Amino acid sequence: MPTNTTKQKLSQLGLSTLAQVAYGQMLTELLSSLSKLPLPAVVGISGAQGSGKSTLAALLAVELQAKGIKAQAVSLDDYYLGTNARSQLAKQVHPLLAQRGVPGSHDIQQALEDTHAVLTGKPVKLPVFDKASDDRLSALAAQQLDLLIVEGWCLGVSAQDDVDLLQPLNKLEAEEDTDVRWRHYVNKQLAGSYADYWRLLQPLIWLKAPDWESICRWRAKQEQQLWQQRGAGMSECELSRFMLPFQRLTQASFQQLPHKADYTVQLDLNQQPVAIISKELI
């Protein structure tokens, strides 16, 4: 069962009693599996915006630490290239690469090096990205880990066939990527170093949202919370535009990850876990 610390954190999330019980059961099941992994290991948690992957990663790390396992969580977002590096990509490849998010906007080589360090028992300095300043901060102090949990919105997603890239999926692709150059670049990154990285994340846990519309709703809820906390954030129009680069790969995940994820956590419309499906049972 989850520790008292985790129970307190669950209560702070504003979940109903029933939802807290469901979340606790999910944690218990995942912890039972993760505790049996041969160490060192690197685990992946994939899920779209607002699915709760960062919360799950943090809670799993706390619970594993309570079991004496040196565990830490890091986000794929922490590997984002800084503003200057993305500006160079925007000039050299495509203007859409100035926005952080899609494959190609991360320092994926550093992610690979950090993962190999963990798997070979070497100390690792995990990165920290500050979204407020849109730039990288100093890395954390070096630490030797038994288990690293990586969470990210597109973990495990594979490159698509070139023919599938031709038809625009939304307004952004139709109007801002008319020559398909951006789509091809992102796809090439997925087929290269990102695929190498995904293969190291074992097992892969997928937080499955009901649909794209739910994800947009959850992300809007996050933005409303930012407005309440900071008095600033994106407008409804800005948020709608912000979400468009994520749509193609998020919808691809609905097709691909049911066959790839070792554990699929099904979420309801309120972002709560309702079932866990193990790949062994599929």
pLDDT digits (tens, 9 = 90+) for 105-147: 999 999 999 999 999 999 999 999 998 888 999 989 999 999 9
Q: What is the pLDDT of residue 282?
A: 41
C-alpha separations of 105 from 83, 101, 155, 188, 221 in Å = 10, 6, 14, 13, 25
Asked whether the beta carbons of 49 and 215 are under 8 A apart, the reply is: yes
Q: What is the pLDDT of residue 281?
A: 46
Asked whether the beta carbons of 196 and 115 are under 8 A apart, the reply is: no
> For the chain, how long is the longest CA-to-CA vector?
54
Exposed, middle or buried by CB within 10 Å (0-12, 13-18, 19+), for 125?
middle
Residue 160 or residue 12, greater confidence: 160
Nearest to 214 by CA among 52, 18, 45, 54: 52
Q: Structure pTM?
A: 0.92
Q: Is the pLDDT of residue 1 over 60?
A: no
C-alpha separations of 279 from 37, 50, 120, 258, 260 in Å = 16, 24, 27, 8, 8
Q: What is the pLDDT of residues 79-103, one digit of tens each?
A: 999 999 999 999 999 999 999 999 9
Q: What is the pLDDT of residue 132?
A: 83
Bridge-based pairing of strands 147-152 and 273-278 is unpaired
Can you tell me the mean pLDDT for 249-258?
Answer: 97
Q: What is the pLDDT of residue 108?
A: 98
Mind giving me the DSSP string for 67-90?
TT--EEEEEGGGGBPPHHHHHHHH
List domains and CATH numbers for the chain: 4-156+196-270 (3.40.50.300)
Spell out where 131-249 has E strands: 135-137, 147-152, 204-208
Residue 7 or residue 176, greater confidence: 176
pLDDT band at 4 (very low <50, low <70, confident <90, very high): confident
Across 187-191, 234-238, 250-254, least confident range: 234-238
Give the H or E element holding residue 47. strand 41-47
Across 42-46, 55-59, 156-160, least confident range: 55-59
* Residue found under tokens 């919105």: 153
